[in-house]
Amino acid sequence: MCGIVAYLGEQEACPIVLKGLKRLEYRGYDSAGVALIHQNNLSVFKKKGKVTDLEKHLADKAITGSIGMGHTRWATHGEPNDINAHPHFSSDSRLALIHNGIIENYATIRQELMHKGHQFLGQTDSEVLVHFIEQIQKENQCSLFEAVRIALNEVVGAYAIVVMSADDPNQLLAARKSSPLVIGIGKDQKEFWLASDATPIIEYTNEVVYLDDHQIAILQKGSMEIKDISNVPTTPYIQYLDLTLDAIEKGGFDSFMLKEIFEQPESVHNCLRGRLIAEKGHLQLGGINKYIDRLLYAKRIIILGCGTSWHAGLVAEYIFEELARIPVEVEYASEFRYRNPIIYPDDAVIAISQSGETADTLAAIELAKSKGATIFGVCNVVGSSIARATHEGAYTHAGPEIGVASTKAFTAQVTVLLMMALMIAKKRQNVAEAQFSELLYELESIPEKIAKTLKINEEIEKIAHIYQHSSNMIYLGRGYNFPVALEGALKLKEISYIHAEGYPAAEMKHGPIALIDEEMPVVFIAIKDNSYEKVVSNIQEVKARKGRVIAIVNEGDNLISSMADHVIEIPATYDVLTPLLTVIPLQLLAYHIAVLRGCNVDQPRNLAKSVTVE
């Protein structure tokens, strides 16, 4: 989704803003722009395409100024082109605005403004907002802050905005509702950075303020004021960010995605650290404490998420029902919120989100909360909107995930959900002491097994060479690994643009089998769990129809080796933990196929890392 960066201080703003925009490229975008103030002159430069296209456009321009802002746009209203790119000017070009989100009532406001003589260059809702602020300031002869405040009281929708004015050349105004915005604070408040997430900020400062909904920040050299849109001042809560620059750089890998796949032994380890000590039989999620009884005695658990997080939720359904013996429903947040769901006050809701900013998940949480349910979050981004909207939660501690296709977030989410389920199972006495202890030991050793699984990388690359030109692929798995089949198919389509379908292996007979011929690669998750024999039969059914089988098997599986075209061997583990290993080869397969097809794996077309609009 769109990215916002802004700077106010002593240094040249443009290089800081451009570097920040590059750090936000991972979010997905189609055009970029900057605005700068120099000696009371406000200039805007914008271009369709990448930040490097914008840089080329700026190369021969004399740009200077110690206050500036930049934007990467992911088109919602109006096609991606130079005009619709942000920043947008007011009619008199004295005001400029950047915006993330959607102003839902923009058409009505646009109409009214046109009656008052405003002309619009593009089709965006954001351009309407800056004209609206201009009009309010003119009509009320008020300060820019007041005009922004009045405008935000009128608009319906979601926004994170930054506004600059040639008439207030030492000031940045920023506001948010349902779209994230972080303020980085320099020494003695002499400098400020603003961004959609902390990645453009952490190389300068670790002190940040996450703006809350309906808040407006007024930043000037030496001062930061935050008021809400009713004009009530609030005391900013300054947090210390525990992030390093290494965490958001590629560290020698060709792409963030590959780095993140290979980080999984460490990210899962970090997720377990301090929470699970098998030797002492210790398992504790510090963030789930006050409301634990609501989870323990819940009649039903509803799991909400989108994309990969929804897949982690599906895995959790199997895990919770098996270990905790509580009925679970897994819902796409976007469907749940629009279908008048039945929610009881004794329901526990688990909301899963890597970014903690997905608009649909956030809205679904608010809906469940309004019906009295208790909400637990499983988020990766500390301080994110979802983390703050839930009653309690456990962070995944996977570190920043920059590649658009989610990898290490998935394994960390499953790890947290496993710990939650085991905690409940133990407290509800659904699991025997010995089994509980064995599972703790095995979960503790999973990072090592992930590291071992990653050794198959080169073999997978060879398989990818064979199937790189496929136009379709099917992924099949059962039980805990049915959601992993969905996740494998999602990874492939996201980054290689090959059409792929995930199915429960037994369902193949009810449809997908019609697709199978000698051209169709079928990826089976065929490990030795309780459905092994059934999956072996499914493999035979595919081979009988001349399909090409790539099977993920346990080490030393001679039976499947004799049937499949290719086998990928992974270590054995308990059934309930298998998704943490089986997903790894599927991530690598998608990665290598996409690279061989010349695709940009970190920034796949049309996708956004965090979808902050409906």
What residues are labeled active site? Answer: 2, 609
Q: Does 408 bind ligand G6P (CB under 6 A)?
A: no
User: Which of residues 72, 334, 355, 385 is near ligand G6P by CB under 6 A?
Assistant: 355
Q: How far is the CB of 382 from ligand G6P (least distance, A)?
A: 13
Pairing mode of beta strands 215-220, 31-38: unpaired
Least Å from the CB of residue 197 to ligand G6P: 11
Helical pair 408-427 and 433-453, crossing angle rounded to 10 deg? 170
Amino acid in position 454: L
Return the residue nearest ligand G6P (CB atom): 307
Q: Which of 404, 523, 526, 584 binds ligand G6P (CB under 6 A)?
A: 404
**Residues 210-225, buried b or exposed e (16+ Cβ, 10 A)?**
bbbbbbbbbbbbeeee
32 contacts 46 by C-beta, under 8 angstroms: yes
The half-sphere exposure of 362 on its side-chain side, counting CA atoms within 13 A, is 23
Beta carbon nearer to ligand G6P, 309 or 538: 309
Q: What is the rounded CA–CA span in Å between residue 266 and residue 408?
A: 10
Task: For the CB of residue 28, give the shortest distance to ligand G6P in the complex, in Å.
Answer: 8
Distances (CA, A) of 266 to 44, 262, 453: 43, 8, 14
For the window 265-304, what string marks contact with ligand G6P as x by the rule CB under 6 A? ----------------------------------------
Which residue's CB is nearer to ligand G6P, number 168 or number 260?
Answer: 260
Give yes or no for residue 306 binding ligand G6P (CB under 6 A): yes
**Distances in Å between the alpha carbon of 410 and those of 67, 143, 215, 439?**
39, 47, 32, 20
In this chain, which of 307, 313, 377, 399 binds ligand G6P, going by CB under 6 A?
Answer: 307
Binding segment (CB under 6 A) for ligand G6P, from list 249-257, 428-436, 585-593, 603-611: 603-611
Peptide bond into 400 cis (omega under 30): no
How many binding residues for ligand G6P (CB under 6 A)?
Answer: 16
Which of the residues 471 through 530 are near ligand G6P (CB under 6 A)? Answer: none
Q: How far is the CB of 352 from ligand G6P (least distance, A)?
A: 7
Nearer to ligand G6P, 131 or 609 (CB): 609
Query: What whole-number distance in Å separates Cα of residue 282 and Cα of residue 196?
Result: 38
Q: Residues 40, 14: contact at Cβ < 8 Å?
A: no
- For the segment 308-337, give every residue that binds ligand G6P (CB under 6 A): 308-309
Is residue 354 part of the contact set for ligand G6P (CB under 6 A)?
Answer: yes
Residue 596 within binding range of ligand G6P, rule CB under 6 A: no
Among 19, 146, 10, CA closest to 70: 19
What's the order of all strands across the beta sheet hosting 566-570?
499-504, 472-477, 521-525, 548-554, 566-570
The CA distance from 240 to 311, in Å, is: 32
DSSP string, 473-509: EEEEE-GGGHHHHHHHHHHHHHHH--EEEEEEGGGGG
Q: Which residues pair with 223 in a beta bridge?
A: 220
Q: Does 358 bind ligand G6P (CB under 6 A)?
A: yes
- The Cα–Cα gap between 390 and 523 comes to 37
Among 353, 374, 587, 603, binds ligand G6P (CB under 6 A): 353
Alpha-carbon torsion angle 150, 153, 157, 159, nearest 10: 50
Q: How is the beta sheet containing 31-38 ordered, strand by strand?
A: 41-48, 31-38, 67-73, 3-8, 192-195, 182-185, 207-210, 239-240
Segment interacting with ligand G6P, rule: CB under 6 A, options 318-326, 453-461, 593-601, 605-613: 605-613
Instruction: Kindly tell me which of 17 and 495 has the beta carbon lying closer to ligand G6P.
Output: 495
From 71-79, 284-292, 547-555, 606-614, span contacting ligand G6P (CB under 6 A): 606-614
Q: Does 607 engage in binding with ligand G6P (CB under 6 A)?
A: yes
Do the beta carbons of residue 353 and residue 409 sit within 8 Å? no
Cβ proximity to ligand G6P: between 180 and 521 the closer is: 180
The region, left, alpha or beta by phi > 0 then psi within -120 to 50, assigned to residue 213 is beta
CB of 360 to ligand G6P, least distance (A): 8
Q: Rounded to an integer, what distance in angstroms lies between the CA atom of residue 25 and that of residue 99?
A: 16
Using the rule CB under 6 A, give the single segment among 336-344, 455-463, 560-568, 604-612 that binds ligand G6P.
604-612
Selected binder of ligand G6P within 361, 374, 538, 612 (CB under 6 A): 361
Identify the residue among 50, 110, 337, 609 touching ligand G6P (CB under 6 A): 609
Residue closer to ligand G6P, measured from CB, 100 or 354? 354
Q: Select from 31, 215, 396, 406 the one that contacts ligand G6P (CB under 6 A).
A: 406
Shortest Cβ 427–ligand G6P spacing (Å) = 28
Closest approach of Cβ 411 to ligand G6P, in Å?
A: 13
Residue 538 interacting with ligand G6P (CB under 6 A): no
**Residue 61 is which amino acid?**
K
Which residue number, 353 or 411, has a Cβ lying nearer to ligand G6P?
Answer: 353
Contact in structure between 542 and 565 (CB atoms under 8 Å): no
611 binds ligand G6P (CB under 6 A): yes
Using the rule CB under 6 A, is 587 a contact of ligand G6P?
Answer: no
Which residue, 183 or 362, is less far from ligand G6P as judged by CB?
Answer: 362
Q: How far is the CB of 487 from ligand G6P (least distance, A)?
A: 9
| Residue position matching structure tokens 């915005």 | 181
Residues that bind ligand G6P (CB under 6 A): 306-309, 353-355, 358, 361, 404, 406, 607-611
